[in-house]
Amino acid sequence: MEFLQSVLDFFLHLDKHLADIINEYGTLTYAILFLIIFVETGLIVMPLLPGDSLLFAAGALAASTGSLDMKIMIPLLIVAALLGDNVNYFVGKVLGNQIKMRERILFFKREYITETENFYQKHGGKTVIMARFIPIVRTIAPFVAGAGSMNYGKYISYCVAGAILWVVGVSMLGYLFGNLPVIKNNFELVIFGIIGLSIAPIIFQFIKSKVSRTTA
């Protein structure tokens, strides 16, 4: 229970904890940020790291303290996101056939791959970009894309676009608005707001599928 409270406190007060990390580790903070973004996007078993909130908080601190340079941070974290996606894609590529043969590996079922392939075929590569902005989904989507039949050339082009839009967009929001008094003094609510906006598409899709099944 104490561990969960510590994790929750870290998530809700990312601005303060990130400031402490900067004070303690200085320029090594860039490496820590890189590692967190890479792990969240690259390791299928670590989908709950606070990518969106971290980018927002980092942008806010870059504006308020100057201890982080956006010209360094943004390209670095774009690379971290892309590396994570590529690792995840090729792990999916390797394990995809095994999942299809065995029906299930860990929490991945063969039907998940089939459903995702159909979704990719219906909505195209923009799905890769959309997934980047949704927690958990941005971790799972590259794996499933690799395990499915999405061509790597098509995947990587949308992957690059998604990484750039995500890192630049969210960190610049923090840079421009993160230090407004109403946001700075209510950072916990901002975090909940970011999480809420991020998972809204999942909730909408879930409700839509339930309604469709009911009316079918």
Distance CA 98, CA 147 (A): 9
pLDDT for position 70 = 95
61: pLDDT strictly greater than 80: yes
In the chain, domain spans: 2-215
More confident residue, 147 or 45: 147
pLDDT for position 182 = 79
More confident residue, 122 or 162: 162
10: pLDDT strictly greater than 60: no
pLDDT for position 84 = 92
Least confident span in 7-11, 127-131, 155-159: 7-11
Distance CA 27, CA 207 (A): 45
Task: Using pLDDT thresholds of 50, 70 and 90, give the confidence band for residue 78.
Answer: very high
Q: What is the mean pLDDT of residues 184-205?
A: 67
Q: What is the mean pLDDT of residues 62-82?
A: 92
Q: What are phi and psi of 186, to 5 degrees?
A: -135, 45
pLDDT in tens, 159-191: 999 999 999 999 998 898 877 887 777 766 776
Q: What are phi and psi of 198, to 5 degrees?
A: -70, -40
pTM assigned to the model: 0.80
Task: Using pLDDT thresholds of 50, 70 and 90, give the confidence band for residue 4.
Answer: very low
pLDDT for position 191 = 67
**Nearest-5° Cα angle at 175, 34 to 68:** 45
Q: How much is the mean pLDDT over the chain?
A: 77
More confident residue, 144 or 110: 144
pLDDT for position 127 = 77
30: pLDDT strictly greater than 90: yes
Share of the chain above pLDDT 70, in %: 65
pLDDT for position 3 = 42
